[in-house]
Amino acid sequence: MSNILLAYPEYRATAKLDALRATQYNYLDEQNHVYLDYTGAGLAARKQYENHKARLDGSTFGNPHSENPTSRCATDLVELARKRVLAHFNASSEEYQVIFTANATGAAKLVGESYPFHHRSRLVLTSDNHNSLNGLRVYARRARARTVYVPMRPKDLRIDTSTVAKGLGRQRQLRAWPFGSSARRKRGLFVYPAQSNFSGVRHPLSWVKLAQESGYDVLLDAAAYLPTCALDLSVISPEFVMVSWYKVFGFPTGVGCLIARRDALSRLVRPYFAGGTVQAATVGIPWHSLVDNEGAFEDGTVNYLSIPDVHFGLDWIADIGMELIGTRVRCLTGWFIDSLLALQHSNGRPMVAIYGPTDTESRGGTVAFNFLDAQGDIVDERLVAGESSAARISLRTGCFCNPGAGETTFGVSASALKLLPHAKRRSYEEFLEIAHLPSGGAIRVSFGIASTVRDISYFISFAVMTYRDRVCSSAGLSPRLGC
């Protein structure tokens, strides 16, 4: 503890979280877990589970698509949750609507399938998007829209604003459409993560305005960003924001949100309708009329037994303080990176290669890296996955559904990938061979609300005991089945 306080004295001010770890998150220690996968999923406090049980014990809830007493009870709590979500984002109900989805991926899919792509429009994505966003290019391609990727810098996996402007075609846009022109037409959709789920890099939120001034709608992936940062939609106003609540506070699972500006939502064209989305539909003729509120995008019955838990989760986080959580995670992340960089084999070789920033500036609590053995070779991530699990450590290995970051990290060129579309279906191992990848990905450690210095100390001790001065082999490991 004294060492981290020397480097990060502000860590002392986060002692409240140590008390919560000992009471609300003490199941980790009771079950002997070292949890280091907060980018994968947040953890829930005991009070969240208790509140859920008390609510179900104290009331009876029915399908919201009715006006009977049990339905009205469910409807009222769902609507209160919508208002609480808007309050959390400091968003006006006159400007934004909250659409409940199964997860952040469901929110992205709603935008992709309904966005009015056409042959002269563009889908522009940063190269470190999650596959849930990369999949939008399928919708763009069907409409003959062009897809453009904005590349990263290989060393720190950041992206220059000038490179984003170039990808958006900003200068051409300004010449074609002067500011204030009422004839300006949307050029397409710009998609990027506020925080990378691979490297932890936080991209500038100012890109939202940059893209909008260039004629684009913006879909902001806030899933990895929100667990440790607030997003003020009265200041930053993207057309669409995708959220996964279990990443923020662990419970409930199966509930996400698309937070959408009303003007942007009105321009989407749904390719499908379902129960609950329509005012009326007929069979005699192919006609239907969608409802004029959030329900038009909420297919079927929403998760009305779990959505109220979002309200309690937001209250729980607000009571603790997002700034406090952010400070704790920033200090732990910095201390963890410092500790990794200090690891060496007896021959002086480094034990770790970090992918992404090695400081705490404009980054979140996600650190991607690989262990290096005594000969300087990457330790197979499958070996680390098995040995860390045996030590009761929960972390993530692989590519984290972020192929762009992996390709940049390992220097995979487009020419090396050109064989893939022409090859027959291959195994994942054969894909790695074709792409000349030295590994199936990386190790990802991430911190959150219940993380402590002791978690880091345990992991570093594990790393030293397991990999220092070791020459590793992948012989005998089970084949990789996918990323």
Contact call for residues 157 and 198 (beta carbons, < 8 A): yes
- 10 Å CB burial of residue 446 (0-12, 13-18, 19+) is buried
Burial 9-26 (b: 16+ CB within 10 A, else e): eebeebeebeebbeebbe
CA angle 399, 436, 443 (to 5 degrees): 25
Look at strands 240-244 and 216-221 and give their pairing. parallel
How many residues does this entry show for the chain? 483
Across the strands, what pairs with 34? 393
**In this structure, what token pair is assigned to residue 26?**
């003490």
Q: For residue 413, count other CB atoms closer than 10 A to its CB.
A: 10
CA dihedral 24, 29, 33, 34 (to 10 degrees): 80
Contact call for residues 282 and 129 (beta carbons, < 8 A): no
Longest dimension (CA), the chain: 80
Sign of CA dihedral 233, 237, 239, 241: negative
319: amino acid identity, one letter: D
Give the integer Cα–Cα distance in Å for 373 and 345. Answer: 8
Name every residue whose Cβ is closer than 8 Å to that of residue 325 and which is 6 or more positions away in sequence: 17, 227, 228, 317, 448, 449
Query: Residue 186's Cα: distance from chain center in Å?
Result: 26
Give the integer Cα–Cα distance in Å for 428 and 405. Answer: 18
Instruction: Specify whether 483 is catalytic.
Output: no
Helix (H) or strand (E) holding 352: strand 352-355
Catalytic annotation, pick one of 73, 331, 399, 401: 401
Residues with catalytic roles = 401
